[in-house]
Chain A
Amino acid sequence: MTDRQIQANPFLNREVSWLEFNRRVLEEAEDPKNPILERIRFFCIFHSNLDEFFMVRVASLMRLIHDGDSTPDSAGLTPYQQLELIREMVRDLEQASYSLYNDKLLPALAKAKLRILAGESLTVSHQKHLDEYFESEVYPVLTPVAIDASHPFPHLANLSFNLAVLLVSEKKGDSERRLAIVQQPGRIPALCRVPDGDELQFCWLSEVIRRNVSRLFSGYKVLEVAGFRLTRDAELELDDEGAVDYVRMLESELRKRRIGRPIRLELEEPMTVELRELLRARLGVEESSVLTVRGPLDPRPLLRLAEMQGFDHLRFSPQPPLLQPVFRQERNIFDIVREADVLLHHPYESFDPVIEFVEAAAEDPDVLAIKQTLYRISGAGSPVLRALIRAAESGKQVTVLVELTARFDEEGNIGWARTLEEAGAHVLYGLAGLKVHAKITLVIRRELAGIRRYIHLGTGNYNERTARVYADFGILTAADDFGADASGLFNAITGYSEPPEFHRLTMAPAGMREKIISLIRREADRAKSGQHSGIIAKMNSLVDPLIIQELCAASNAGVSIQLSVRGVCCLRPGLPGFSENIRVISVVDRYLEHSRAFVFKNGGDTEVYLSSADWMPRNLDKRVELMFPVVDESSKQRVIGALQAQFADNQKARLLLPDGGYKRITPGRSEPLRVQEYLYQRIQEEHYRAVSVTPVRFEPIEGSGA
């Protein structure tokens, strides 16, 4: 393949684009302008992202290669070519990340009086403390396994950290070298505190075990100890937040054979060739899947450090969520929503009104029914969940569609769903073949004027914790047509009825792609007839080939297209004859840019949509998703303003280049603007103005005898 062919293809490879995204995360860890604990957090995210990428994407490519599938992707790369490209990029990224860790992050932490000790930096008193810790806490829970003919290789949990030990007997005449495995226990913190004056010091648990490993093998001499980690194919998929989840598939023999196949073997440096080869052969890992690193194999425990209480001066300055003025009064939330639609922009604006909405519905005696989809909640303590349980207990009809996730399954944490059922709620655990990713709540309330329906629709989950770090939109409305659609949607996803014809909502998999394409085509038609046209769209990922083709066609028709795609973008922008009028940026900053919002200029009659779905085949074909218009004029303007601000960012925004790489956008001569700070300030000002223009209301108290 020549460069010329790549140039003429409007598609970028998905995996490469994803690695580019993770590079941007690593850049944030590198950026010395970010506070050190935030840099550590980005560093951890980079690594956990990468772990999941291997478990999901690399595993799936290896499956294709194993099955002999050499069909090229839209970018023209076969699975094997993609894998080669990935390995090369990952090697570079890993190397860069560990250089960063050793040369920049550790010293910066030390400067902030946070030290991670190892080897010669441990003083005698440190050593004494750690050895005592080993004896009392660690030793009792270790199960070393020597590998020989009678002891097969133990099952190593996916991504668990293990020590490989090379042993030789102290008995004379027995010079056979043996391999033993020590699995690092999951229940003990992987990073232990080491007391030392007023400084906070830590040591890796692996270091503690390594120091005392000979205690485990009496009668043997320890020749070498080194850490390793194995990644297996678990047939997982990534959700939109980058978390892993099971693929819902029918059990098959083929699948059983595939599960557990090794994908990646990470080894700690230094390691002798002898130990490395012994391990690799025992685990059945190909040479090309082995990766050697100089640093902690699993840096994710550092997150604990980044999230430690106190040390706020080492983090981004706080931006406490703002409560919209309309919610500051002591008023019934239904009265507020009935008066006018409410647009919520999290995390700048508080998620409390959403919780209040569900809680009020649970308490209100006039509410007949509550129906909600729960994709990711914060667990059994979720206030939304507790409100739903109360509502069901008080005899209201509660229907909840729950999507259980891999994480929940693993933790056996589905108890809360059962509690909900026991309270009398109708709980549905997903749909056959489709995951319900739409975020919608419907409250049916009986009022004097008749039945009224209140609806919350969002781009993010009903999770008050992630709502503090994910940038998402939500709307609260009592509009009739939304209400009718919401009822129809729940009738459809509960299987009570066939999907209705919607007035306002667009649902995937029934026609969302078609709707998006028709909206794009309409812009192209507007442009061709000389009318005002333009598309601004924001999402997590842009992968769908059909939509990309339509975007290119619109670009060719003269539509100006601005895309803010945080993660994977398979559209190659700025390609003459394909995508000259398309500009793609990505904002990676303190909040996860999670909202999906689309603006279509439509000849001056601008339409604004919000959605739970990214423009990916998976979302459009295999998920129940929703797209809904923002009808209220002031809400529309707020969404448009927030989207335009993305393109004004010159601090945390990157521009996607025609070659698939990204370039940070710099202020040049203009004022520096960081969209996630700018929006917070702007919303604060808006709220302030709204309060200052609201007249004081004098409400006389009616006497009963009057």
Chain B
Amino acid sequence: MPAPVTTILSAIDIGSSAIRMDIAEVRPDGSIHLLDSLKKGVQLGKDAFTQGWLSEESIRAACAALRDFKKVMDSYGVARYRAVATSAVRESTNSDTFLDRVLMSTGLDVEVIDGPEENRLTYIAVLESLRGMPELENAQALLVEIGGGSTDVTLLRAGEPLQSGTFPLGSIRLREAMNHASRTHEQQIRLLKRQIGNLLTNIKRSIPMKDASCYIAVGGEVRFVGKVLPGTARDGAPCVVSRDAFAEFADSVARLTVEALVQKYSLSYLDAETLTPALLAVLQLLKETQSPNVIISGASIRAGMLQDLAPEEKGKRRKQLTKQILSAARSLGRKYQYDENHAERVRELAEVLFDELKAEHGLDETDRLYLQVAALLHDIGLFINPRSHHKHSYYLVSTSDLFGLRRRELEIIANVARYHRRALPQRGHTAYMSLDRDERVVVSKLAAILRVANTLDKGQLQKATDLKLSREGDQLVLVAQNVSDLTMERVALAGRCDLFNEVFGKKLTLREAAKTA
């Protein structure tokens, strides 16, 4: 019998209230087929959000659950897996201990992912599950995932992410905050609503949602709504609940105590506890949009992880993701009123330089993406003040949420943007030194290119592709086609190729190509 042509994948998600695993196979046609889905309740969030660290009991329970999951993985002969932990582990002071314990007792290498990565995975899965839904085609849509510890919000236009963010609005976190007070149920609900309202003000500040005409919600609690409301449940497929019906249901749930919810819907105590906070949060966000209904997606970050793991999908996804990240960067630029023409030209010039200098810098596609984003955003600090604007750019980039990029990646990009002018990287700069050595090398190389690209945009070059690099001894000469006089650029370059000369060890000069007409 020839070797089977399917690949078995596994995605594990260590969340705030449960550990879950999906096992799937990738068929020869590239389709992903779910084989098994496991869920084991482990209250990591309760520990993390109240005491700040994971208790021995929870760590043990998590290890036991993961050991069992490993057995199931073995029974299918899983070829590739990815195991991630989200906010509960992320926010615990002893997360390293936890990861090591898991590795030692199960052999599973768990990676702690941050909010943006969680967002990206959810986005991939949601898009896959909503493929072909007309609501998504043109309009602005708000994608909301309420987790135990945090809420991810992404604004989409025509299915592409514009802006996204992770906010400390989580069902378990809210529930824990309420538990401190011994009030009546009504008072508790009022308190809960006020808390959600406060957090909502922050969310609105960074993500405008009033134009969204479509609202997509993800998460166990909203899936429950899909199951309970009559006529809505569709096996696996997304379901649509009208705005009014959702509001009515959320309010009816909020009127009941946890005990009553357990009784009425035969929920576990755990699930009942988070139901009201989550639904009220989803509802308040819904009210900020124009959407006439809630699309409840069954997608999970595990589905996104499986998509990611599928080998056939990797190249395609990479390209798509690059596009999405750039479009998110542009919308961040617009937020800070950047000079779009300049930004795009610098990006193009930087791309050409990066590609022409491949032999010199030896960097990869990911680094190229960092350069592109830094090029687009290098001047956004002007929004605050032209003076020292490179420093403001650093600050704005490093503290923004940018779809598809992790915090660490944003830190690299912010540093590249910072060094687009003035001072060169040096040991006294803490933000620079907070990066590890390899990252610092990347920042230096990319900043060197960005400085050059920025000086070249003086209006003379029609197209960036008119530039060609020629290597002449220990000199690198940029030869520009179709230009008659580049004196301005040459002067500017002379003042800005300092970093370049230092990083690449070669002198860079600029020359007009000889007319061959």
Contacts and interface: CB of A to CB of B under 8 A. Distances in A.
Contacts of B364: none
A250 interface: no
Interface string B185-210: 00000000000000000000000000
Given A444-B75, A450-B25, A451-B76, A496 B5 contact: no
Given A446-B77, A450-B6, A451-B76, A484 B36 contact: yes
A494 B67 CA distance: 12
Given A487-B35, A491-B38, A500-B37, A448 B27 contact: no
A496 B71 contact: yes
B473 interface: no
Interface string A393-405: 0000101000000
Most chain B beta-carbon contacts within 10 A, residue among A397, A487, A494, A497: A497
B134 interface: no
A66 to B, nearest CB: 35
B4 A503 contact: no
Contacts of B35: 451, 484, 487
A495 interface: yes
B8 interface: yes
B68 interface: yes
Contacts of B436: none
A657 interface: no
Given A451-B25, A488-B36, A496 B75 contact: no
Nearest to A370: B75
B37 A488 contact: yes
A700 B295 CA distance: 56
Contact of B75 (A369, A447, A484, A498): A369
A487 B74 CA distance: 14
A498 B4 contact: no
A368 interface: yes
A98 B71 CA distance: 59
A447 to B, nearest CB: 7
Contacts of A503: 235
A450 B33 contact: yes
B72 interface: yes
B77 A368 contact: yes
A498 B40 contact: yes
Interface in A344-403: 365-366, 368-369, 397, 399
Given A369-B75, A451-B76, A498 B39 contact: yes
Contact of A494 (B34, B36, B68, B74): B68
B475 to A, nearest CB: 58
A497 B40 contact: yes
Contact of A368 (B2, B38, B76): B76
A397 B4 contact: no
B38 to A, nearest CB: 4
Nearest to B74: A397
A622 interface: no
A449 B6 contact: yes
B133 interface: no
Contact of A491 (B8, B34, B36): B36
Nearest to A398: B75
Contacts of B33: 450
Contacts of A497: 37-40, 68
Nearest to B27: A450
Nearest to A499: B39
A426 interface: yes
Contacts of A495: 68
A448 B68 contact: no
B113 to A, nearest CB: 22
B354 interface: no
B502 to A, nearest CB: 55
B1 interface: yes
Contact of A448 (B4, B8, B40): B4
Interface string B1-42: 110111010000000000000000101000001111111110
B69 interface: yes
Nearest to A487: B36
Interface string B34-63: 111111110000000000000000000000
Contacts of B8: 451
B73 to A, nearest CB: 10
Most chain A beta-carbon contacts within 10 A, residue among B4, B25, B41: B4
A425 to B, nearest CB: 12
Interface string A476-508: 000000001001100100111110100100000
Interface in A396-428: 397, 399, 426
B74 A451 contact: no
Contacts of A487: 35-36
Interface string B347-379: 000000000000000000000000000000000
Nearest to B2: A448
A451 B39 contact: no
A487 B39 CA distance: 13
B72 A444 contact: no
A561 to B, nearest CB: 28
Nearest to A426: B71
Contacts of B41: 498
A450 B74 contact: no
Interface in A424-451: 426, 444, 446-451
Contact of B40 (A426, A451, A496): A496
Contact of A449 (B27, B36, B37, B76): B27
Contacts of A450: 4, 6, 25, 27, 33
Nearest to A498: B39
A407 B41 CA distance: 37
Interface in B55-106: 65, 68-69, 71-72, 74-77
A56 to B, nearest CB: 32
Contacts of B25: 450-451
Contacts of B6: 449-451
Given A397-B74, A494-B68, A495-B68, A447 B4 contact: yes
B36 A446 contact: no
Contacts of B27: 449-450
A366 B40 contact: no
Given A446-B77, A450-B33, A498-B40, A491 B4 contact: no
A281 B39 CA distance: 60
A426 B72 CA distance: 12
Contacts of A498: 39-41
Nearest to A501: B227
Nearest to A453: B35
A352 to B, nearest CB: 26
Nearest to B33: A450
B471 to A, nearest CB: 52
Nearest to B235: A503
A368 B75 contact: yes
Nearest to A500: B37
Contacts of A449: 6, 27
Interface in B223-249: 235
Contacts of B71: 397, 426, 496
Given A484-B35, A498-B40, A491 B5 contact: no
A407 B324 CA distance: 67
Contacts of B34: 484
Given A446-B77, A496-B40, A497-B40, 11 more contacts: A368-B77, A369-B76, A450-B25, A450-B33, A451-B6, A451-B76, A488-B37, A491-B36, A495-B68, A496-B68, A496-B71
27 contacts: A365-B1, A366-B1, A368-B77, A369-B76, A397-B75, A426-B71, A444-B76, A446-B4, A446-B77, A449-B27, A450-B6, A450-B25, A451-B8, A451-B25, A451-B35, A484-B34, A484-B36, A487-B35, A491-B72, A494-B68, A496-B68, A496-B71, A496-B72, A497-B40, A498-B41, A500-B37, A500-B39
Interface of B: 1-2, 4-6, 8, 25, 27, 33-41, 65, 68-69, 71-72, 74-77, 235
Q: List 10 A-B pairs, minimum CB-CB distance, nearest first.
A: A497-B38, A369-B75, A496-B68, A450-B6, A397-B75, A487-B36, A450-B25, A498-B39, A491-B38, A446-B4
